[in-house]
Structure 1
Amino acid sequence: MLENLRGKRMMFVGDSLNRGQFTSMVCLLHKIVPNDAKSLDKVDSFTIFTAKDYNATIEFY
């Protein structure tokens, strides 16, 4: 899955259903990305998961 996201930005926008999808995806990726190569930040209304080695971000607004 991470190879498909390499160099890309994926954004979930919406309600609690979309939030659940975002949370599930981040949970899956959180387990396979090393601690020093990932971050989960909250900026204003955005929650952003970054896989640094893959230059990939998954965001929820």
Structure 2
Amino acid sequence: MAHPKSKISKTRRDKRRTHYKATEPALTTCPNCGAARLMHRVCPECGHYRGQLAIEKSAKA
């Protein structure tokens, strides 16, 4: 089984990992209710997508 010839230092390891970043989600505002939502998704607050009602939202009990 393969194994490393010498130990990789923490600095060298961290320098290699500098480009491994999490990207922020692309948020936009819903034109119907103004809530934040992911792009190209149905609004979780009002259920609208591209000006049409996609999901019927029931009143919370």
So what's the TM-score if we normalise by structure 1? 0.22
Larger Rg: 2
Larger RCO, structure (CA 8 Å, separation 6 or more):
1
Q: Which has the higher helix share?
A: 1
